[in-house]
């Protein structure tokens, strides 16, 4: 079935450092890809998405590009802030059941001032 | 504005007890989802409603799990004869429509601990 594998954490960075969280997927056909974020004490929320190959999703300074050839959707941010400390989840929906999200295990990111 | 509301926030149950978890979706949202998140893991799909119809319950782990949404609004996830492996955070989410194009709004979850 469809699945997502993402980089294990935890990841600890200093402010203004570059962040990459790797995500690869296995799916039949062409899934839609997502990054969700969970800030401390809050519910999961959509960070960005891409629905077809070579699409780039972006939001709040984060970017991820849908790479069909490498089945990847790595999350990047050029200069992190303390407020980016959160748990990040890579996820996909398959074409046949496009309402059902399959999540990775999550990566905890802590940014130190 | 009101988001997705779940209650209770925390529930402790003795093994063998029945529990009921409630979800109030955003008003007007047609689709409602339940996910189970074990400690240190990503959420796992349990079930999906469109209005009052349960269109997919393939993720429910056993017949001890039952979900309903009788009037197409509030939903209840019931777990009978709870087991320790049921300990997890149960997340509810709603959206205007059911496809990937319709953003999901998640509640803060109910943390269930079975002792």
Q: What is the pLDDT of residues A45-104, one digit of tens each?
A: 999 999 999 999 999 999 999 999 999 999 999 999 999 999 999 999 987 777 889 999
pLDDT band at A25 (very low <50, low <70, confident <90, very high): very high
Question: Using CA atoms in the order B69, B23, B99, A29, what is the torsion angle rounded to 10 degrees?
Answer: -100
Confidence of residue A28 (pLDDT cuts 50, 70, 90): confident
Q: How confident is the model at residue B27 (pLDDT cuts 50, 70, 90)?
A: very high
- On whether any CB of chain A is under 8 Å from the CB of B44, the answer is yes
Element (H, E) at A72: none
Cα dihedral B43, A35, A62, A72 sign: positive
Confidence of residue A1 (pLDDT cuts 50, 70, 90): confident
Token pair in block for residue A4: 């997502």
Checking if the pLDDT of B99 tops 80, the result is no
Q: Which residue from B48, B100, B108 is facing A43, i.e. has the nearest CB?
A: B108
**Chain A neighbors of B111, CB-CB under 8 A:** none
Q: Residue B74 above 80 pLDDT?
A: yes
Q: Are B35 and B93 in contact (CB under 8 A)?
A: yes
- C-alpha R_g of chain A: 13
Chain B residues inside the 8 Å CB shell of A104: 42
Are the Cβ atoms of B100 and A98 closer than 8 angstroms? yes
What tokens does B57 get? 């319950």
CB < 8 Å to A66, chain B? none
Contacts made by residues B83-89, CB under 8 angstroms, sequence distance 24+: B83/B15, B83/B114, B84/B15, B84/B114, B84/B115, B85/B114, B86/B112, B86/B114, B87/B38, B87/B39, B87/B112, B87/B113, B87/B114, B88/B36, B88/B37, B88/B38, B88/B39, B88/B112, B89/B36, B89/B37
pLDDT band for position A30 (cuts 50, 70, 90) = confident
Query: Which positions 9-38 of B are in contact with A (Cβ < 8 Å)?
Result: 31, 33, 35
Confidence of residue B100 (pLDDT cuts 50, 70, 90): low
């Amino acid at each position: 079935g469809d699945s997502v594998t993402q980089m294990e954490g935890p990841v600890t960075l200093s402010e203004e450092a570059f962040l990459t969280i790797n995500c690869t997927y296995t799916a039949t056909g062409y899934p839609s890809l997502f990054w969700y974020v969970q800030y401390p004490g809050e519910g999961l929320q959509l960070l960005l998405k891409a629905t077809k190959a070579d699409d780039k999703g972006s939001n709040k300074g984060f970017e991820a590009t849908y790479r069909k050839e490498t089945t990847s959707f790595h999350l990047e941010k050029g200069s992190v802030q303390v407020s980016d400390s959160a748990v990040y989840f890579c996820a996909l929906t398959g074409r046949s059941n496009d309402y059902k999200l399959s999540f990775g295990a999550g990566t905890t990111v802590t940014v130190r001032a | 504005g009101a988001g997705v509301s779940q209650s209770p926030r925390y529930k402790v149950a003795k093994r063998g007890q029945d529990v009921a978890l409630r979800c109030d979706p955003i008003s007007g949202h047609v689709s409602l989802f339940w996910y189970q998140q074990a400690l240190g893991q990503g959420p796992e799909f349990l079930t999906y409603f469109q209005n009052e119809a349960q269109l997919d319950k393939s993720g429910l782990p056993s017949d001890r799990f039952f979900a309903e949404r009788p009037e197409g609004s509030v939903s209840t996830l019931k777990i009978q004869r709870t087991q320790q492996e049921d300990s997890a955070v149960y997340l509810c989410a709603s959206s205007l429509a059911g496809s990937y194009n319709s953003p999901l709004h998640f509640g803060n979850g109910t943390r269930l601990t079975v002792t």
